[in-house]
Every structure is written in C-alpha cells, then in structure tokens.
C-alpha cells in the first residue's frame, strides 16, 4: 500500500527544502506540483492552445498525462510519455503556466493526476492545501510553520548571500501579505488540517526539521 505525506504551511517555511530532503532519505517521490503546472503548459503550447480561451483549455486537459519519475536521483517529468524536464524552466513555459494555472479545469485535472501518483507510489507533497484538499487521506500530515520574523530572516540571509543586499522589513511585509492572501483566498485557503501535526521551525535548523519530520512519519 502506498504511503502519502502531506506538508502544508505558509510561504518561506521551508516546505519544499524539507520535503525534498525527506523524500531523498526515505526514497519517496517528491511531487513537485509547480513542475506539473509547467508540464501542462508545455502541452498547451505544443498543441497551439490559446491561454485566453477557457473553452480550448477545457477541451485540451483530458488529453494530458503527467508522471514524475527519478533517474540517478534526479526528478524527471514525463508528459504523455515524453521527458520534458529540460523545458520546464523556459520563460515561455513559465508565462503559459502562470496564465493557465487559475482555470478550474486545469486545477481539477492536476488534482486527479496528483492523487493518481499518491495511489501508486510513496509520495511527499507540499503546498497550501495538500492535507485539506489534495490528499485528505494522507497517512502523515504536517503543518510546517515559523514566525514571520524567522521566515523573513531566512529569506534575507539567502538574498544577501546571493545578491549582497536585501531589505529585511520589505521581505517581512511581503511574507505577512502573502500569509493573509493565502489564508483568505476563496478556493482552498491555507489552514492546518484537523489531523495535521503542527511543527514550528522558528528555532530549528534544516537537519533538526528533517529529523523531526522523519520521527513523525515513523
């Protein structure tokens, strides 16, 4: 029987970093939902679908199959049997994904594909609504969070290391704004699932969080 781990939480909590590490250590599949939206976008582009036509999008989604596989420990995204991993980060693909991700039919199709993955493989998924909407029956659910100060500090340090400068107060304000938007959106708002374990990582490093998550899974 396949085992599913759902990790939800606010922006900057480190969900993807933790999920990828845990997936690698447990030999699970990390389901990159963003990559799946981009693979869907590639299908639309290759088939001349107008991103402004909901009718065309609706007609096209049923022809899409997306799987996630691993080769030598590296994630591979398979679209209708073809490996499209190398194309996922193209600017045009990002624009198409952004333009089409809001359609209800696109979200519904990807929800179906994500659940299919969870039924056939041991998976870890992270996001805003995995434990509440995408995988409500996941065996382990974790709500990963940290104070806005801690999340802003992590982002600030990351940007300073990369670019040499950053504005801490601006970063913190942006995080708090995103929290509010995520928690108050109409479709699948961010919230802790009733049966999820709260894990506050404000005073923890990555290794400590990974160890805590693995302990919860065990």
Query: Per-residue pLDDT tens for 20-78?
Result: 999 999 999 998 888 899 999 999 999 999 999 999 999 999 999 999 988 877 889 99
- Residue 149 tokens, joined: 């100060």
Annotated binding site for ATP: 9-17
Asked whether the predicted pLDDT for residue 102 surpasses 90, the reply is: no
Task: Measure the CA–CA gap between 7 and 2, rounded to whole angstroms.
Answer: 17
Asked whether the predicted pLDDT for residue 101 surpasses 90, the reply is: no
In the chain, where are the structural domains located? Answer: 1-14+124-217, 29-121
Q: Quick one: DSSP state of residue 87? A: G
Indicate the average pLDDT of the chain. 92
Superfamily of domain 1-14+124-217: P-loop containing nucleotide triphosphate hydrolases (3.40.50.300)
Confidence at residue 94, expressed as pLDDT on a 0 to 100 scale? 86
Confidence of residue 136 (pLDDT cuts 50, 70, 90): very high
Annotated binding site: 9-17
Q: Which parts of the chain fold into alpha helices (H)?
A: 15-26, 33-46, 54-60, 91-100, 104-120, 148-163, 168-184, 206-217
- Could you say which of 3.30.930.10, 3.90.1170.50, 3.40.50.1360, 3.40.50.300 is the CATH number of the domain covering 29-121? 3.40.50.300
Task: Measure the CA–CA gap between 81 and 202, rounded to whole angstroms.
Answer: 42
CA angle (41 as vertex; 39, 43 as ends), nearest 5: 75
């Amino acid at each position: 029987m396949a085992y599913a781990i759902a990790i939800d939480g606010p922006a900057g909590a480190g969900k993807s970093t933790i999920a990828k590490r845990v997936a690698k250590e447990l030999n699970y599949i990390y389901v990159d939902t963003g990559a799946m939206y981009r693979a869907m976008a590639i299908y639309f582009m290759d088939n001349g679908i107008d991103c402004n036509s909901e009718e065309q999008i609706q007609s096209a989604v049923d022809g899409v199959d997306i799987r996630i596989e691993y080769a030598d420990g590296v994630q591979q995204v398979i679209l209708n049997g073809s490996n499209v991993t190398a194309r996922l980060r193209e600017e045009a693909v990002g624009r198409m994904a952004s333009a089409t991700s809001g359609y209800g039919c696109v979200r519904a199709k990807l929800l179906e594909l994500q659940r299919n993955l969870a039924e056939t493989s041991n998976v870890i998924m992270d996001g805003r609504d995995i434990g509440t909407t995408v995988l409500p029956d996941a065996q382990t659910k974790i709500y990963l969070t940290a104070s806005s100060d801690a999340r802003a500090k992590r982002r600030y340090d990351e940007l300073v290391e990369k670019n040499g400068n950053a504005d801490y107060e601006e970063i913190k304000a942006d995080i708090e704004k995103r929290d509010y938007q995520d928690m108050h959106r109409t479709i699948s708002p961010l919230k802790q699932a009733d049966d999820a374990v709260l894990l506050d990582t404000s005073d923890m490093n990555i290794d400590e969080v990974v160890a805590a998550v693995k302990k919860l899974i065990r």
